[in-house]
A and B are shown apart, each in its own frame.
Chain A
Amino acid sequence: MEMTAGNVQQADLNGALPVTEDGVPIKMRANQVTVHYGEKQALFGVDLNVRKSNVTALIGPSGCGKSTFLRCLNRMNDTIDICRVGGEIVLDNEDIYDPKIDVVELRARVGMVFQKPNPFPKSIFENVAYGPRIHGLAQSKSDLEEIVATSLQKAGLFEEVKDRLDEPGTGLSGGQQQRLCIARAIAVSPEVILMDEPCSALDPIATAKVEELIDELRENYTIVIVTHSMQQAARVSQRTAFFHLGYLVEEGKTNDIFTNPKDQRTQDYITGRFG
């Protein structure tokens, strides 16, 4: 099966992953990334290391390019006609903007969860089974059921929906829908999960559940999350990157960024002076 082959290859490469100065393997590396929307430049020379099995939070005022950067990491920007990406983004030693790279395969390895829960108007089961089906991950029906069940379990949704897998996913509550979308992303066994403000449409209780889930997922997946909530960044992430006007201002341990920022702009933002 194609995925096991992928896993073997990944294991081979794992050994060769570059590491940071404190010894953590680097899963994705952005090198002088620039983005233009038509004439307008949205990102200016961003350098960022995404550490394996860490949660990296991207924070910054509205319009500073957080979503733009996140979408570069699985080439979702390709769907926008006027968007041009420069620089280099490396996933496991491969440049993902290399013409040899198949975006379909890339997006299976780097999954995405969106700001607004966007379950397909299909049953809960079909929502989760969607990815495995298009990538041919399941040999048989029972395989598929297995994948769906484990993904829902990992997303912490299984207990709530196990009796109504054939009901429409759009009938769930907002928080459940978002966890369904996370389950859907997990079902294709990605290595990296990108989340763009995954809790901004949710109430505090649903948010707490998703945050708890993110923390659990960290063990097996590398996560990059965009958030507007400083508390959320502090709660779920190990690393934080602060963007401002298209520049990556500062990146470091979450604790350091919040207690002891090096840059004045970061200081101003986290103390609420602008944003």
Chain B
Amino acid sequence: MFWTYFFILIAVFVLATFYGRSRSLQVVNGQLSALHSRPGYHGGFLAIVTVVPALIALIVWVIVAPNIMNNIVSSQSADFMSGLSKPAVEAFLRDARALAFGGIVGFVDAGKEHAAEIYKSLNTTSNILMGVIMALLVAGGFFYGVRTIQPQMRARHFVERSVMALLILCSAVAIFTTIGIVLSLIFESLRFFQQVPILDFVFGTHWSPQSAFIGAGAEATGTNSEVFGAIPLLVGTMLITFIAILVAAPVGLLSAIYLSDYAAQPVRAVAKPMLEILAGIPTVVYGFFAALAVAPFIRGWGESFGLTVSSESALAAGVVMGIMIIPFVSSLSDDVINAVPQSLRDGSAGLGATKSETIRRVVLPAALPGIVSALILAISRAIGETMIVVMAAGLAANMTINPLEAVTTVTVQIVTLLVGDQEFDSAKTLAAFALGLLLFCITLALNVFALRVVKKYREQYD
């Protein structure tokens, strides 16, 4: 029923737009100049006052009606439900609803059939009621709107304000979602820190949450806080990120220099989008590229030198991740290098500097803050990356800086903590939130730092 009403409202919206437009012209006998606002705004005004109140009512109805119905049904079939536990009551109502509106029913008994009858009749009443309310709102809004359309009416202001309200609503949704996510991270982490002291977590050097429980069977209640040390994960993350930057910084930067200062226009027109396509490859594709092509290659290559290389190595994951972030580095650096004024290049060339001297001594130093921030953004991207490391770096929380060994990262551990059957409030699951919070703090700090560098850079040329 919701969708029926919804589409009716949309149709009304369109019709009201047209009617409001012609009505405004009618009011001034086709003399456009006599209108304060153009006819289109009058159309928008009429459509908004006609439809929006009904739309709000409809949304409220969709949200609250099922609850009200459940309450009524529960109270009217209290005889059948006495003595049922809470989940059983829910199952009862679920089955009754399924009987009434179609769906999969567990088993049928008299009580449920009774409840289903009530549901059916309630639903019909509610639909009719809603239809009437909406019709009233639409009619009221419409007549109010039509009466209000006068030459001097400030329809444009009304429409502009409505548009602004819509924009505010959308940005509020985005902002509150973000705040909500961060808050839930914080609260779940706090629960975790009640079980595991925060210092043990941040400075502990041993990570094996699989062995977190003291005791066995029914007695497995205590939590061993010693096994939640995040340091090995941080070390693994840093190691892989470091390798990635080692790959991405030179390649990305040098290609940015080539693109901005050396490449002829046609080359640039082709090469830049090509590089940016790299950024569009799904990371899971990079992941199996790393796991199936790069890791075995590195192992074979290492073994030919007599080195022991584990089949999942930090090196493989880091190199592939470096390839993944090349486009970030090159495209952002290309932008900042291009932003260095041509007049500085001319000034340098006018003194007899060659192109490469100009780039090394004038352009790069001037662009350096921007380049640094490009690198930092790329780093925070690399730190948050999951798929490649899941597939290529392994799960073992080794605390090592040997790139040929398997390591694990914060993101990988979050995945393994949450995949599979978990009890939601065990320390093991809550640890994922703490790790998420840690990761969030690190990337947030990096981003803030990068933004400040960028800001400083912007002030340099007016």
B365, A79: Cβ atoms closer than 8 Å: no
Q: Is B460 a contact partner of A170 (Cβ separation < 8 A)?
A: yes
| 18 further A-B pairs in the complex, CB-CB below 8 A; given A104-B353, A184-B351 | A74-B350, A79-B349, A103-B352, A104-B352, A106-B352, A107-B351, A111-B350, A112-B346, A113-B350, A118-B343, A118-B346, A118-B347, A120-B344, A120-B347, A121-B366, A121-B461, A130-B362, A131-B353
Residues of B within 8 A of A270 (CB): none
11 contacting pairs across A/B (C-beta < 8 A): A76-B350, A79-B345, A104-B352, A107-B350, A108-B351, A118-B341, A118-B347, A120-B366, A130-B353, A131-B353, A185-B350
Question: Which residues 419-462 of B sit at the A interface, judged by CB distance below 8 A?
Answer: 460-461
Contacts of B347 in A (CB 8 A): 114, 118-120, 181, 184
How many chain A residues have a CB neighbour from B under 8 Å? Answer: 29
One digit per residue, 1 when the CB lies within 8 angstroms of any chain B CB and 0 when it does not, for chain A 71-82 equals 000101001010
Q: Verify if A116 is at the interface (C-beta below 8 Å from B).
A: yes
Give, as a whole number of angstroms, the nearest-CB distance from A166 to chain B: 15
Q: Considering the chains assembled together, what is the distance between the CA atoms of A188 and B341 in angstroms?
A: 23
Mask of B355-388 contacts with A, CB within 8 angstroms, 1/0: 0010001100110000000000000000000000
* Distance in Å: Cβ of A80 to nearest Cβ of chain B: 10
Chain A positions within 8 Å of B121 at CB level: none
Q: Which of B346, B348, B352 contacts A135 (CB 8 A)?
A: B352
Contacts of A70-118 to chain B: CB distance below 8 A: 74, 76, 79, 81, 103-108, 111-114, 116, 118
Contacts of B352 in A (CB 8 A): 103-108, 131, 134-135, 188
What's the minimum C-beta distance from B264 to chain A, rounded to whole angstroms? 7
- B354 within 8 Å of A by Cβ? yes
Judging by beta carbons under 8 Å apart, are B366 and A185 in contact? no
Cβ distance A120 to chain B, nearest Cβ, rounded Å: 5
Q: Are B349 and A81 in contact (CB under 8 A)?
A: no
Q: Which of B346, B347, B362, B366 has the most CB of A within 10 A?
A: B347
Q: Is the CB of B365 within 8 A of A121?
A: yes
Query: Contact mask B223-266 → A, CB, 8 Å, 1/0?
Result: 00000000000000000000000000000000000000000110
Across the two chains, which residue of chain A brings its CB closest to B347?
A118
Q: For the complex, is A122 an interface residue (Cβ under 8 Å from B)?
A: yes
| Cβ-defined contact, A131 with B351, below 8 A | yes
Q: Which residues, 325 to 343 on B, are CB-close (under 8 Å) to A?
A: 341, 343
**Across the A-B interface, the 4 shortest Cβ-Cβ residue pairs:** A112-B350, A107-B352, A108-B352, A118-B343
Q: What residues of chain B lie closer than 8 Å to A131, measured between beta carbons?
A: 351-353
Q: How many residues of B contact A (CB 8 A)?
A: 22
Cβ of B362 and Cβ of A114 under 8 Å apart? no
Which A residue sits closest to B368, measured CB to CB?
A121
Q: Which B residues lie within 8 Å of A118 (CB)? A: 341, 343-344, 346-347
- Taking CB atoms and an 8 Å cut-off, the chain A residues in 108-149 that contact chain B are 108, 111-114, 116, 118-122, 130-131, 134-135
A120 to B351, CA, bound (A): 12
- CB contacts (< 8 Å) of B350 on chain A: these are 74, 76, 107, 111-114, 185
Closest to A115 in B: B343
Residues of B within 8 A of A108 (CB): 351-352
The smallest C-beta distance from A189 to any residue of chain B, in angstroms, reads: 11
CA–CA, A134 to B361, complex, Å?
9
A81 contacts across to B, CB distance below 8 A = 264-265
Complex CA gap A74/B352 in Å reads 10
Shortest beta-carbon distance from B347 to chain A in Å: 4
Which residue among A107, A114, A122, A184 has the maximum number of chain B CB atoms within 10 Å of its CB? A107
The complex places the Cα of A181 from the Cα of B461 at a distance, in Å, of: 17
Minimum CB–CB distance for A158 against chain B, Å: 20
**Least Cβ–Cβ distance between B359 and chain A, in angstroms:** 12
A121/B460 contact (C-beta < 8 A), A107-B351, A131-B351, A134-B352 known: yes
Q: What chain B residues lie within 8 Å of A76 (beta carbons)? A: 346, 349-350
Inside 8 A of B351's CB, which chain A residues have their CB?
Answer: 107-108, 111-112, 130-131, 134, 184-185, 188
Kindly state the separation between the CA atoms of A116 and B345 in the bound complex, as whole angstroms: 13
Could you say which residues of chain A place their CB within 8 Å of the CB of B343?
114, 116, 118
Whole-angstrom distance between the alpha carbons of A74 and B347 in the complex?
12
A107 to B349, CA, bound (A): 8
- Cα-based distance from A181 to B351 in the complex (angstroms): 10
Complex Cα spacing A114 to B344, Å: 10
Q: Which of B265, B352, B361 has the most CB of A within 10 A?
A: B352
CB distance from A143 to the nearest CB of B (A): 18
Chain A positions within 8 Å of B265 at CB level: 81
Q: Give the shortest distance, in Å, between A239 (CB) and chain B (any CB).
A: 23
B362 touches A134 (CB 8 A): no
Beta-carbon nearest neighbor of A108 in chain B? B352
> In the complex, what's the smallest C-beta–C-beta distance from A101 to chain B, in angstroms?
12
In the bound assembly, the distance between CA atoms of A74 and B351 in angstroms comes to 10
Which chain B residues border A112 with CB–CB below 8 Å? 346, 350-351
A116, A121, A122, A130: which has the most chain B beta carbons within 10 Å? A121
What is the 8 Å Cβ interface bit string for chain A, positions 160-187, against chain B (1 contact, 0 not)?
A: 0000000000100000000001001100
Residues of B within 8 A of A181 (CB): 347
Interface residue ranges of A32-52 to B (CB < 8 Å): none
A199-223 residues at the B interface, CB under 8 angstroms? none
Q: Which of B348, B350, B366 has the most CB of A within 10 A?
A: B350
Q: Do A120 and B362 form a contact, CB below 8 Å, given A114-B343, A114-B347, A170-B460? A: yes
Cα A104 to Cα B357 with chains together (Å):
11
Q: Within 8 Å CB of A120, what residues of B? A: 344, 347-348, 362, 365-366
Q: Closest approach, in angstroms, between the C-beta of A165 and any C-beta of chain B?
A: 18
Known contacts A104-B352, A111-B351, A130 near B361 by CB under 8 Å:
yes
Interchain CA distance A189-B345 in the complex, whole Å: 20
Q: Within the assembled complex, what's the spacing in Å between the Cα atoms of A106 and B349?
A: 11
Q: Closest CB-CB distance, B379 to chain A, in whole Å?
A: 25
Per the bound structure, the CA–CA distance linking A92 and B345 in Å amounts to 27
How many angstroms between the C-alpha atoms of A3 and B344 in the bound complex?
25
A225 to B365, CA, bound (A): 31
Q: Judging by beta carbons under 8 Å apart, are B366 and A114 in contact?
A: no
In the complex formed, the residue of A with least CB distance to B355 is: A79
In angstroms, Cα B346 to Cα A184, docked, is 13
Residue of B nearest to A106 (CB): B352
Complex: A188 Cα to B351 Cα, angstroms: 8
> Which residues of B have CB within 8 Å of A135?
352
Kindly provide the distance from the CB of A39 to the nearest chain B CB, expressed in whole angstroms: 17
Q: What residue of chain B has the Cβ atom nearest to residue A120's Cβ?
A: B362
Min C-beta distance of A115 to chain B, whole Å: 9
